[in-house]
Protein backbone atom coordinates (compact mmCIF):
# COMPACT_ATOMS: atom_id res chain seq x y z
CA UNK A 1 0.00 0.00 0.00
CA UNK A 2 1.17 3.50 -0.77
CA UNK A 3 1.73 6.02 1.96
CA UNK A 4 2.21 9.76 1.97
CA UNK A 5 2.55 12.14 4.88
CA UNK A 6 2.10 15.85 5.48
CA UNK A 7 -0.61 16.23 2.84
CA UNK A 8 -3.42 18.76 2.72
CA UNK A 9 -5.93 17.33 0.23
CA UNK A 10 -6.78 13.97 -1.29
CA UNK A 11 -5.27 15.25 -4.54
CA UNK A 12 -1.83 15.15 -2.87
CA UNK A 13 -1.99 11.34 -2.78
CA UNK A 14 -0.93 9.16 -5.67
CA UNK A 15 -3.26 6.60 -7.20
CA UNK A 16 -3.44 3.62 -4.87
CA UNK A 17 -4.74 2.35 -1.54
CA UNK A 18 -3.54 4.32 1.47
CA UNK A 19 -3.61 3.71 5.21
CA UNK A 20 -2.51 7.16 6.39
CA UNK A 21 -5.46 9.35 5.33
CA UNK A 22 -7.32 10.69 8.34
CA UNK A 23 -11.11 10.68 8.55
CA UNK A 24 -11.09 14.49 8.69
CA UNK A 25 -9.07 14.74 5.48
CA UNK A 26 -11.10 12.07 3.73
CA UNK A 27 -14.46 13.68 4.47
CA UNK A 28 -13.48 17.12 3.14
CA UNK A 29 -15.85 18.08 0.34
CA UNK A 30 -14.10 19.32 -2.80
CA UNK A 31 -15.83 20.28 -6.03
CA UNK A 32 -15.22 17.53 -8.59
CA UNK A 33 -13.87 15.01 -6.08
CA UNK A 34 -16.18 11.98 -6.17
CA UNK A 35 -17.17 9.61 -3.40
CA UNK A 36 -20.40 7.76 -2.57
CA UNK A 37 -21.87 10.85 -0.90
CA UNK A 38 -21.26 12.92 -4.03
CA UNK A 39 -22.85 10.24 -6.22
CA UNK A 40 -25.95 10.22 -4.02
CA UNK A 41 -26.32 13.98 -4.27
CA UNK A 42 -25.88 13.91 -8.05
CA UNK A 43 -28.67 11.32 -8.22
CA UNK A 44 -31.02 14.05 -6.94
CA UNK A 45 -29.86 16.95 -9.11
CA UNK A 46 -26.55 18.70 -9.85
CA UNK A 47 -27.93 21.66 -7.89
CA UNK A 48 -28.22 19.47 -4.79
CA UNK A 49 -24.67 18.27 -5.31
CA UNK A 50 -23.27 21.79 -5.63
CA UNK A 51 -25.11 22.92 -2.47
CA UNK A 52 -23.80 19.86 -0.62
CA UNK A 53 -20.20 20.66 -1.62
CA UNK A 54 -20.57 24.26 -0.48
CA UNK A 55 -22.41 23.40 2.72
CA UNK A 56 -20.74 23.96 6.08
CA UNK A 57 -21.17 20.77 8.07
CA UNK A 58 -23.62 21.08 10.93
CA UNK A 59 -23.74 19.13 14.16
CA UNK A 60 -23.49 15.37 13.89
CA UNK A 61 -26.86 13.65 14.18
CA UNK A 62 -27.42 10.98 16.87
CA UNK A 63 -27.71 8.33 14.15
CA UNK A 64 -24.36 9.29 12.61
CA UNK A 65 -22.71 9.45 16.02
CA UNK A 66 -24.01 5.97 16.88
CA UNK A 67 -22.83 4.57 13.56
CA UNK A 68 -19.38 6.08 14.02
CA UNK A 69 -19.10 4.58 17.51
CA UNK A 70 -20.27 1.15 16.31
CA UNK A 71 -17.78 1.13 13.46
CA UNK A 72 -14.96 2.03 15.82
CA UNK A 73 -16.00 -0.68 18.31
CA UNK A 74 -16.14 -3.39 15.65
CA UNK A 75 -13.34 -2.34 13.31
CA UNK A 76 -10.87 -0.80 15.76
CA UNK A 77 -11.70 -2.08 19.27
CA UNK A 78 -8.42 -0.86 20.76
CA UNK A 79 -9.07 2.67 19.50
CA UNK A 80 -12.66 2.46 20.78
CA UNK A 81 -11.39 1.62 24.27
CA UNK A 82 -9.24 4.74 24.38
CA UNK A 83 -11.57 7.12 22.51
CA UNK A 84 -15.01 6.35 23.93
CA UNK A 85 -16.48 6.09 27.39
CA UNK A 86 -19.84 4.64 28.35
CA UNK A 87 -21.93 6.79 30.68
CA UNK A 88 -22.46 5.06 34.01
CA UNK A 89 -25.82 6.75 34.53
CA UNK A 90 -27.93 9.38 32.84
CA UNK A 91 -26.60 12.89 33.37
CA UNK A 92 -28.49 15.21 35.74
CA UNK A 93 -28.24 18.13 33.29
CA UNK A 94 -28.45 18.63 29.54
CA UNK A 95 -25.33 19.94 27.87
CA UNK A 96 -25.52 23.76 27.93
CA UNK A 97 -25.87 25.42 24.56
CA UNK A 98 -23.54 28.22 23.40
CA UNK A 99 -26.43 30.62 24.01
CA UNK A 100 -26.72 29.46 27.62
CA UNK A 101 -22.97 29.68 28.16
CA UNK A 102 -22.91 33.25 26.85
CA UNK A 103 -26.01 34.42 28.73
CA UNK A 104 -25.46 37.61 30.76
CA UNK A 105 -27.70 36.41 33.58
CA UNK A 106 -27.84 32.61 33.46
CA UNK A 107 -30.21 30.74 35.74
CA UNK A 108 -28.82 28.79 38.66
CA UNK A 109 -29.64 25.56 36.82
CA UNK A 110 -27.61 26.75 33.83
CA UNK A 111 -24.69 27.68 36.09
CA UNK A 112 -24.83 24.23 37.70
CA UNK A 113 -25.04 22.55 34.28
CA UNK A 114 -22.01 24.47 32.97
CA UNK A 115 -20.01 23.58 36.07
CA UNK A 116 -21.05 19.92 35.84
CA UNK A 117 -20.19 19.55 32.15
CA UNK A 118 -16.90 21.44 32.40
CA UNK A 119 -15.85 19.05 35.14
CA UNK A 120 -17.03 16.07 33.11
CA UNK A 121 -15.13 17.16 30.02
CA UNK A 122 -11.96 17.64 32.06
CA UNK A 123 -12.23 14.16 33.54
CA UNK A 124 -12.97 12.54 30.19
CA UNK A 125 -9.84 14.07 28.60
CA UNK A 126 -11.31 14.36 25.12
CA UNK A 127 -13.11 11.00 25.03
CA UNK A 128 -16.49 10.74 23.35
CA UNK A 129 -19.32 9.68 25.60
CA UNK A 130 -21.78 6.97 24.62
CA UNK A 131 -25.14 6.90 26.38
CA UNK A 132 -26.16 4.00 28.60
CA UNK A 133 -28.58 2.63 26.02
CA UNK A 134 -26.24 3.07 23.05
CA UNK A 135 -23.34 1.47 24.92
CA UNK A 136 -25.47 -1.61 25.64
CA UNK A 137 -26.53 -1.83 21.99
CA UNK A 138 -22.97 -1.47 20.74
CA UNK A 139 -21.77 -4.23 23.08
CA UNK A 140 -24.58 -6.50 21.90
CA UNK A 141 -23.97 -5.81 18.22
CA UNK A 142 -20.21 -6.21 18.59
CA UNK A 143 -20.68 -9.53 20.39
CA UNK A 144 -23.15 -10.79 17.78
CA UNK A 145 -20.73 -10.02 14.96
CA UNK A 146 -17.73 -11.60 16.70
CA UNK A 147 -19.71 -14.78 17.43
CA UNK A 148 -21.10 -15.09 13.89
CA UNK A 149 -19.32 -18.00 12.13
CA UNK A 150 -18.60 -15.93 8.99
CA UNK A 151 -18.75 -12.26 9.99
CA UNK A 152 -16.50 -12.72 13.01
CA UNK A 153 -13.66 -14.01 10.83
CA UNK A 154 -13.99 -11.25 8.24
CA UNK A 155 -12.76 -8.59 10.67
CA UNK A 156 -9.44 -10.33 11.28
CA UNK A 157 -6.10 -9.97 9.50
CA UNK A 158 -6.96 -6.84 7.54
CA UNK A 159 -6.87 -3.09 7.95
CA UNK A 160 -9.66 -0.70 8.90
CA UNK A 161 -10.42 2.59 7.15
CA UNK A 162 -8.11 2.17 4.15
CA UNK A 163 -8.68 4.79 1.46
CA UNK A 164 -8.47 4.36 -2.31
CA UNK A 165 -7.57 7.33 -4.52
CA UNK A 166 -7.81 7.19 -8.31
CA UNK A 167 -8.86 8.97 -11.50
CA UNK A 168 -11.97 7.65 -13.20
CA UNK A 169 -10.87 6.37 -16.62
CA UNK A 170 -14.08 7.47 -18.41
CA UNK A 171 -14.43 11.00 -17.04
CA UNK A 172 -10.97 11.73 -15.69
CA UNK A 173 -12.51 12.86 -12.39
CA UNK A 174 -10.58 12.35 -9.16
CA UNK A 175 -12.25 9.75 -6.92
CA UNK A 176 -11.95 8.51 -3.37
CA UNK A 177 -13.44 5.60 -1.43
CA UNK A 178 -12.97 4.62 2.22
CA UNK A 179 -13.25 0.93 3.06
CA UNK A 180 -14.55 -0.19 6.42
CA UNK A 181 -12.26 -3.22 6.37
CA UNK A 182 -9.85 -4.41 3.69
CA UNK A 183 -8.25 -7.83 3.51
CA UNK A 184 -5.61 -7.39 0.82
CA UNK A 185 -4.35 -10.97 0.94
CA UNK A 186 -7.78 -12.36 0.06
CA UNK A 187 -9.01 -9.44 -2.06
CA UNK A 188 -12.01 -8.77 0.16
CA UNK A 189 -13.69 -5.51 1.13
CA UNK A 190 -16.08 -5.74 4.08
CA UNK A 191 -18.67 -3.04 4.70
CA UNK A 192 -20.46 -2.83 8.06
CA UNK A 193 -24.12 -1.76 7.97
CA UNK A 194 -26.43 -1.38 10.97
CA UNK A 195 -30.06 -1.99 10.05
CA UNK A 196 -33.53 -2.60 11.41
CA UNK A 197 -33.86 -5.86 9.47
CA UNK A 198 -30.93 -7.91 8.14
CA UNK A 199 -33.06 -10.52 6.35
CA UNK A 200 -32.47 -11.10 2.65
CA UNK A 201 -35.67 -9.39 1.46
CA UNK A 202 -35.37 -6.41 3.79
CA UNK A 203 -31.68 -5.80 3.15
CA UNK A 204 -32.26 -6.01 -0.61
CA UNK A 205 -34.63 -3.07 -0.13
CA UNK A 206 -31.91 -1.29 1.85
CA UNK A 207 -29.49 -1.88 -1.03
CA UNK A 208 -31.93 -0.20 -3.40
CA UNK A 209 -32.98 2.61 -1.06
CA UNK A 210 -29.47 3.54 0.07
CA UNK A 211 -27.84 2.76 -3.27
CA UNK A 212 -25.36 0.25 -1.92
CA UNK A 213 -25.07 -1.18 -5.45
CA UNK A 214 -23.70 2.21 -6.55
CA UNK A 215 -21.24 2.07 -3.67
CA UNK A 216 -20.19 -1.39 -4.89
CA UNK A 217 -19.64 -0.01 -8.40
CA UNK A 218 -17.58 2.90 -7.08
CA UNK A 219 -15.32 0.59 -5.07
CA UNK A 220 -14.96 -1.81 -7.99
CA UNK A 221 -13.78 1.14 -10.09
CA UNK A 222 -11.20 1.93 -7.42
CA UNK A 223 -9.72 -1.55 -7.54
CA UNK A 224 -9.67 -1.68 -11.33
CA UNK A 225 -7.91 1.70 -11.51
CA UNK A 226 -5.35 0.95 -8.79
CA UNK A 227 -4.46 -2.50 -10.11
CA UNK A 228 -5.60 -4.35 -7.00
CA UNK A 229 -7.75 -7.48 -6.97
CA UNK A 230 -11.29 -7.28 -5.64
CA UNK A 231 -12.60 -10.82 -5.28
CA UNK A 232 -15.71 -9.86 -3.29
CA UNK A 233 -17.45 -6.87 -1.72
CA UNK A 234 -19.36 -8.11 1.33
CA UNK A 235 -21.94 -6.37 3.50
CA UNK A 236 -22.13 -7.30 7.17
CA UNK A 237 -25.66 -6.34 8.22
CA UNK A 238 -26.30 -6.24 11.97
CA UNK A 239 -29.66 -5.42 13.50
CA UNK A 240 -29.88 -2.54 15.97
CA UNK A 241 -32.20 -4.29 18.42
CA UNK A 242 -31.77 -7.50 20.42
CA UNK A 243 -30.99 -10.23 19.62
CA UNK A 244 -28.79 -8.22 17.18
CA UNK A 245 -29.02 -10.78 14.38
CA UNK A 246 -26.25 -10.71 11.76
CA UNK A 247 -26.28 -11.60 8.07
CA UNK A 248 -23.56 -11.50 5.41
CA UNK A 249 -24.69 -10.32 1.97
CA UNK A 250 -23.30 -9.67 -1.49
CA UNK A 251 -25.17 -8.38 -4.52
CA UNK A 252 -25.83 -10.36 -7.70
CA UNK A 253 -24.63 -9.64 -11.23
CA UNK A 254 -27.79 -7.76 -12.21
CA UNK A 255 -27.48 -5.45 -9.22
CA UNK A 256 -23.79 -4.93 -10.00
CA UNK A 257 -24.62 -3.95 -13.59
CA UNK A 258 -27.30 -1.50 -12.46
CA UNK A 259 -24.88 0.06 -9.97
CA UNK A 260 -22.30 0.57 -12.69
CA UNK A 261 -24.93 2.13 -14.98
CA UNK A 262 -26.07 4.59 -12.30
CA UNK A 263 -22.51 5.51 -11.35
CA UNK A 264 -21.46 6.08 -14.96
CA UNK A 265 -24.45 8.36 -15.51
CA UNK A 266 -23.60 10.41 -12.39
CA UNK A 267 -19.94 10.69 -13.39
CA UNK A 268 -20.87 11.87 -16.90
CA UNK A 269 -23.32 14.39 -15.45
CA UNK A 270 -20.72 15.82 -13.10
CA UNK A 271 -18.12 16.05 -15.86
CA UNK A 272 -20.59 18.01 -18.01
CA UNK A 273 -21.50 20.34 -15.13
CA UNK A 274 -17.87 21.06 -14.35
CA UNK A 275 -17.10 21.75 -18.01
CA UNK A 276 -19.99 24.21 -18.42
CA UNK A 277 -20.16 25.44 -14.80
CA UNK A 278 -23.92 24.89 -14.81
CA UNK A 279 -25.75 23.12 -11.98
CA UNK A 280 -29.35 22.45 -13.02
CA UNK A 281 -32.11 21.45 -10.63
CA UNK A 282 -35.42 19.86 -11.63
CA UNK A 283 -36.51 20.15 -15.25
CA UNK A 284 -38.44 23.45 -15.72
CA UNK A 285 -41.83 22.08 -16.71
CA UNK A 286 -45.12 21.16 -15.10
CA UNK A 287 -44.71 17.67 -13.67
CA UNK A 288 -47.78 15.42 -13.91
CA UNK A 289 -47.83 13.08 -10.90
CA UNK A 290 -49.34 9.64 -10.34
CA UNK A 291 -49.94 8.24 -6.90
CA UNK A 292 -47.77 5.31 -5.84
CA UNK A 293 -49.48 1.93 -6.10
CA UNK A 294 -49.91 1.54 -2.35
CA UNK A 295 -51.85 4.84 -2.15
CA UNK A 296 -54.47 3.54 -4.61
CA UNK A 297 -55.39 0.58 -2.44
CA UNK A 298 -57.79 0.37 0.50
Check whether residue 41 and residue 14 sit in a common domain: yes
Check whether residue 103 and residue 248 sit in a common domain: no
Q: Which residues contact 200 (CB under 8 A, 6 or more apart)?
A: 247, 249
296 within a domain of the structure (yes/no): no
Q: Is the peptide bond before 70 cis (omega within 30 degrees of 0)?
A: no
Which pLDDT belongs to residue 122? 83
Average pLDDT of the chain to the nearest whole number? 92
Q: Which residues contact 128 (CB under 8 A, 6 or more apart)?
A: 65, 69, 83, 84, 85
Check whether residue 160 and residue 271 sit in a common domain: yes
Residues 100 and 116: beta-carbon distance below 8 Å: no
> Which of 28, 21, 26 lies closest to 53 in space, CA to CA?
28
H/E stretch holding 234 reads strand 232-239
Residues 175 and 218: beta-carbon distance below 8 Å: yes
254 within a domain of the structure (yes/no): yes
Q: Which residue has the higher pLDDT, 146 or 61?
A: 146
Residues 186 and 231: beta-carbon distance below 8 Å: yes
How many residues in total does the chain contain?
298
- Domain that residue 123 falls in: 62-144
At which of 144, 178, 196 does a domain end? 144
Number of domains in the chain: 2
Confidence tier at 5 by pLDDT (50, 70, 90): very low
Confidence tier at 120 by pLDDT (50, 70, 90): confident
Check whether residue 114 and residue 250 sit in a common domain: no
Q: What is the mean pLDDT of residues 273-287?
A: 96
pTM to 2 decimal places: 0.86
Query: Measured between alpha carbons, how far is residue 174 from residues 45, 178, 256 in Å?
Result: 20, 14, 22
* C-beta atoms surrounding 144 within 10 Å: 18
Q: How far apart (Å, rounded) are the C-alpha atoms in residues 182 and 139?
A: 23
297 within a domain of the structure (yes/no): no
Is the torsion defined by CA of 215, 230, 260, 163 positive or negative?
Answer: positive
Q: pLDDT tens digit string along 232-244? A: 999 999 999 999 9
Q: What are phi and psi of 134, to 5 degrees?
A: -65, -40
Check whether residue 227 and residue 122 sit in a common domain: no
Confidence tier at 176 by pLDDT (50, 70, 90): very high
Which pLDDT belongs to residue 82? 86
Check whether residue 20 and residue 123 sit in a common domain: no
CATH number assigned to the domain comprising residue 255 = 3.90.320.10
196 within a domain of the structure (yes/no): yes
Which pLDDT belongs to residue 128? 84
H/E stretch holding 239 reads strand 232-239
> Which of 72, 74, 80, 37 lies closest to 55 in space, CA to CA?
37
Residues 203 and 237: beta-carbon distance below 8 Å: yes
Q: pLDDT tens digit string along 67-116? A: 999 999 999 999 998 889 877 677 888 888 988 999 988 999 999 999 98
Q: Which residues contact 70 (CB under 8 A, 6 or more apart)?
A: 138, 141, 142, 192, 194
Q: Which residue intervals of the chain are DSSP H helices?
A: 23-26, 36-44, 46-54, 62-75, 77-83, 98-101, 108-124, 132-147, 151-154, 200-210, 212-226, 253-276
Q: Which residues contact 238 (CB under 8 A, 6 or more apart)?
A: 141, 144, 145, 151, 192, 193, 194, 195, 198, 244, 245, 246
Amino acid sequence: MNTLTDTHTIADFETGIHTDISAELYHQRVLGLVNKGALDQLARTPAHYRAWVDQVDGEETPALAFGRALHCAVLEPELFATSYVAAATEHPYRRPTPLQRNAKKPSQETVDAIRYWDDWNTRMAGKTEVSVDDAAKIRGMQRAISEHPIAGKLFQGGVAEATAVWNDPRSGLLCKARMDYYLAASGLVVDLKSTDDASDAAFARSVANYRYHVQHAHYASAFAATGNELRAFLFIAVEKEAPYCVAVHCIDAEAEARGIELRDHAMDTLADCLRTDTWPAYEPRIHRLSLPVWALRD
